[in-house]
């Protein structure tokens, strides 16, 4: 008998997906419209942020300045080009720091692009609010670097840099007070602002622990586990999104490896221990402590900077270790939508023991969902490499890219998008250096601006 129920279900799911997509991209769309409307603004408020605190604070400043009648352009720091700076008279930067004193992804091209020119900006006034955490060695390192480079270019300090430890509201307020003292904002505005020491929080759902599987027994590296959590249709997400697990008042973020159609959340977790051998808070719970049916509070962090356009014809997916998680979600979506021009470059240590999801990758290679499958292993001999499906080599992902530079250029010229997921310092930095030397750093910046070079690195 013909029934309409499946069609209604499919319709509801499609509507939910469309609504979620629009919701995810709402700020991107609004920002494009706004950038056009305010393109001649002499005041720029720029942010460099990953989990949203710096961006949220920058919006508060924008609201204040606009309520005073100023024309203000609000942009990610990457978009503040040397040309923009020469038109600009006041620049306010709110920036967090990642890695070891590094820029968040949406700010990492600012200093290199400034350093490519000899321009000076004596007519530019600036002030920086740095967000960071004193437990890291390079506290607010990126903000101090921006400060140095702007001073080197003769820009004038409107109010001195303020470095904030873990979103401390009083320190944040002191920067706004300095802006009022400098005549940038009206002192009356200070009473109306509220600062929170909490990063923006997304709705929380209870997730049930379903199980774990040790994937690299015998590996010279730390154990890595596939972990599954029961979503029970409580929320949706897109390939590229991050799950935030709330454990003992702290948040740990993990790249989601599955897609909603799989009805469960799959993660790839590297076990981490403290120097005294005690287990890490998040990885310890996921890899060892959680029992079946234990629950954990979780939120989805929509992560547009690692989403991929549905009409990207070719994808080059590059990652290492647990970074295979974020790449797998994209490959799964493309498998379902019949988009098979995919080149996976994955790095690990041992070809004998570190073959996470080897069965799935082999199937995808055999069925030509993966046009190329390159796996590189830092500890391997040729006999071990011979046992790996696809192309296997000794070394790191950046070596694969270098060895196949002609193929890389061909794919990029044919419109390919590059997705990178995994270690920020151990892999993404060296890879970026290699990509820059093959394609040229300007091309890499252009690819980033076009959304064709995207990263989820940590
Ligand atoms: C966007 C994003 C995506 C991520 N995706 C993944 C993923 O897919 N898979 C994955 O496995 N991880 C991922 N991570 C990393 C993950 O969020 C956690 O950082 C990781 O699991 C370690 O957290 P933990 O709570 O287990 O360890 P923690 O308890 O936070 O300890 C972490 C490490 O810090 C060091 N440390 C802690 N305390 C001290 C101390 N007092 N002195 C010296 N060193 C100390 C130790 O070396 C320890 O190993 C991601 C991170 C981000 C930001
Ligand atoms: C993986 C990671 C690395 C970090 N590295 C640094 C660092 O080197 N120096 C620092 O001051 N803060 C560091 N931080 C702290 C962030 O800068 C801080 O949490 C900031 O408030 C985040 O702002 P955002 O929400 O705008 O991204 C790091 C945080 C994370 C999660």
Measuring CA to CA, which residue among 306, 313, 303 is closest to residue 454? 306
Residue 10's pLDDT band, with cuts at 50, 70 and 90, is low
Q: Residue 52: its pLDDT value, please?
A: 87
Residue-wise pLDDT tens digits, 110-166: 999 999 999 999 999 999 999 999 999 999 999 999 999 999 999 999 999 999 999
Q: Which atom of ligand 2 is nearest to the CA of 199?
A: 25
Residue 257, CA distances (Å) to 267, 275, 325, 328 in order: 5, 29, 4, 6
Shortest-distance Cα residue to atom 6 of ligand 1? 254
Residue 50, CA distances (Å) to 17, 155, 303, 441 in order: 24, 26, 9, 22
Of 33-42, 52-61, 244-253, 256-265, which gets the smallest average pLDDT?
A: 33-42
Ligand at minimal distance from the CA of 242 is 1
Q: Is residue 304 predicted with pLDDT exceeding 60?
A: yes
Residue-wise pLDDT tens digits, 367-415: 999 999 999 999 999 999 999 999 999 999 999 999 999 999 999 999 9
Ligand at minimal distance from the CA of 96 is 2
Residue-wise pLDDT tens digits, 94-113: 999 998 899 999 999 999 99
* Mean of pLDDT values over 165-188: 96
Q: Is residue 200 predicted with pLDDT exceeding 70?
A: no
Number of neighbouring beta carbons within 10 Å of residue 201: 13
* Mean of pLDDT values over 67-92: 95
**C-alpha 270 to ligand 1 mean position (Å):** 9
**What is the overall mean pLDDT for the chain?**
92
Q: Residue 145: its pLDDT value, please?
A: 98
Q: Residue 11: its pLDDT value, please?
A: 62
Q: Residue 6: its pLDDT value, please?
A: 66
Q: Is residue 17 predicted with pLDDT exceeding 80?
A: no
Q: Which atom of ligand 2 is nearest to the CA of 142?
A: 9
* Mean of pLDDT values over 274-303: 97
Q: Is residue 1 predicted with pLDDT exceeding 90?
A: no
Residue-wise pLDDT tens digits, 308-343: 999 999 999 999 999 999 999 999 999 999 999 999
**C-alpha 167 to ligand 2 mean position (Å):** 10
Shortest-distance Cα residue to atom 38 of ligand 1? 274
| 225 Cβ closer than 6 Å to some ligand 1 atom | no
Q: Residue 198: its pLDDT value, please?
A: 66
- What is the share, in percent, of the chain residues with pLDDT greater than 70? 91
Q: How far apart are CA 417 and CA 449, in angstroms?
A: 12
**C-alpha 271 to ligand 1 mean position (Å):** 9
Is residue 55 within 8 Å of residue 40, measured between CB atoms?
no
């Amino acid at each position: 008998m013909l029934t309409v129920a499946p069609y209604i279900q499919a319709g509801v799911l499609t509507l939910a997906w469309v609504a979620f997509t629009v919701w995810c991209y709402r700020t991107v769309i609004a920002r494009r419209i706004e950038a056009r409307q305010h393109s001649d603004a002499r005041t720029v408020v720029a942010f460099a942020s990953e989990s949203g605190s710096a961006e949220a604070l920058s919006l508060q400043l924008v609201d204040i300045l606009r309520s005073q009648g100023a024309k203000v352009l609000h942009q990610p720091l990457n978009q503040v080009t040397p040309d923009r700076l020469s038109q600009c008279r006041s620049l306010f930067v709110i920036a967090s720091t990642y890695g070891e004193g590094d820029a968040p992804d949406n700010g990492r091209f600012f200093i290199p692009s400034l350093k490519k020119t000899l321009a000076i900006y004596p007519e530019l006034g600036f002030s920086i609010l740095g967000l960071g955490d004193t437990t890291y060695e390079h506290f607010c390192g990126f903000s101090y670097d921006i400060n140095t480079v702007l001073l080197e270019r003769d820009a004038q300090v409107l109010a001195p840099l303020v470095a904030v430890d873990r979103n401390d509201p009083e320190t944040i307020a002191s920067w706004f007070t300095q802006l009022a003292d400098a005549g940038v904002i009206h002192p009356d505005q200070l009473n109306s602002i509220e600062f929170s020491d909490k990063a923006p929080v997304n709705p929380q759902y209870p997730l049930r622990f379903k199980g774990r599987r040790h994937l690299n027994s015998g590996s010279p590296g730390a154990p890595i586990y596939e972990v599954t959590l029961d979503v029970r249709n409580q929320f949706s997400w897109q390939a590229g999104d991050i799950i935030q697990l709330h454990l003992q008042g702290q948040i740990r973020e993990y790249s989601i490896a599955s897609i909603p159609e799989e009805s469960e959340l799959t993660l790839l977790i590297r076990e981490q221990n403290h120097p005294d051998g005690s287990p890490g808070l998040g990885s310890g719970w996921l890899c060892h402590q959680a029992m079946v049916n234990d629950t954990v509070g979780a939120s989805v962090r929509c992560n547009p900077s690692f989403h991929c356009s549905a009409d990207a014809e070719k994808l080059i997916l590059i990652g290492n270790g647990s970074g295979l998680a974020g790449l797998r979600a994209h490959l799964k979506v493309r498998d379902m939508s019949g988009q098979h021009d995919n080149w996976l470059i994955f790095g690990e240590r041992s070809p004998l023991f570190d073959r996470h999801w080897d069965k799935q990758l082999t199937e995808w290679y055999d069925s030509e969902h993966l046009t190329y499958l390159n796996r590189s292993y830092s500890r391997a001999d040729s006999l071990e490499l011979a046992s790996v499906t696809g192309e296997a080599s000794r070394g790191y992902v950046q070596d694969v890219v270098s060895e196949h530079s002609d193929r890389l250029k061909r794919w990029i010229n044919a419109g390919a998008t590059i997705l990178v997921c995994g270690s920020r310092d151990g892999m993404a930095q060296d890879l970026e250096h290699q990509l820059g030397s093959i394609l040229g750093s300007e091309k890499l910046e252009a690819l980033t601006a076009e959304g064709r070079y995207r990263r989820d690195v940590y």
